[in-house]
């Protein structure tokens, strides 16, 4: 893994933890879902969209690391709702293809939220605790990186994708570069 990718992922994980510590649940979820998009894209096939790479990565790494009581497609629907509309509802939910993901967080118990959903006759909801999702993502990420590093072909694919990863460039490097053209 390149230094820029490593530093980028590490800073996102730190930001997720800071959001959770400060009860910024929506931004934490946005960071988690965006991060899944990022790592899923590292091995995305040429003719493949975000949904396919996202759900494959979730199936292979998140749900194997820690079952959450939902499907990869339901998490993708949750991702779409949150990233595109700051809402739990997504087109997949409206079309009846997935249950709506609702979140317990902090010290709240998922079982209480499930019981509340049942009383409100919202049987199409699935409850995921934000801390469980966070832990599943982190464990999945570790397992993913272990798997990739065991396979030289996957390492090569990842390296070809991470050349474009955003990273800092010091002003001295830019200055030295410009001086080359002034001479």
* Predicted confidence (pLDDT) per residue in 143-170, tens digit: 999 999 999 999 888 888 777 666 565 5
pLDDT for residue 160? 80
pLDDT tens-digit series, residues 38-71: 999 998 888 899 999 999 999 999 999 999 999 9
Please report how the helices 152-162 and 130-150 are oriented relative to each other, as an axis angle in degrees rounded to 10.
110
- For residue 97, what is the DSSP state? S
**Rounded CA Rg of the chain:** 19
Identify the band that residue 3 occupies on the pLDDT scale cut at 50, 70 and 90.
confident
- Average pLDDT on 71-98 reads 95
Task: Please list, in sequence order, all residues whose beta carbon lies within 8 angstroms of the beta carbon of residue 60, skipping any fewer than 6 positions away.
Answer: 144
Residue in 117, 138, 139 with CA at minimum distance from that of residue 127:
117
């Amino acid at each position: 893994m390149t230094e820029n990718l490593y530093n980028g992922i590490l800073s996102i994980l730190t930001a997720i933890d800071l959001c959770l510590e400060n009860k910024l649940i929506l931004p934490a979820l946005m960071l988690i879902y965006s991060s899944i998009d990022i790592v899923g894209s590292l091995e995305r096939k040429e003719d493949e969209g975000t949904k396919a790479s996202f759900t494959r990565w979730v199936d292979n790494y998140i749900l194997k690391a820690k079952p959450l009581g939902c499907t990869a497609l339901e998490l993708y629907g949750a991702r779409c709702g949150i990233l595109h509309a700051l809402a739990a509802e997504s087109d997949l939910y409206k079309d009846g293809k997935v249950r709506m993901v609702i979140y317990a967080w902090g010290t709240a118990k998922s079982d209480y939220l499930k019981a509340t959903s049942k009383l409100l006759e919202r049987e199409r909801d699935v409850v995921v605790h934000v801390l469980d999702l966070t832990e599943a993502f982190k464990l999945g990420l570790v397992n993913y990186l272990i798997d990739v590093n065991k396979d030289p072909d996957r390492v090569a694919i990842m390296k070809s994708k991470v050349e474009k990863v955003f990273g800092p460039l010091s002003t001295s490097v830019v200055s030295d570069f410009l001086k080359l053209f002034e001479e």
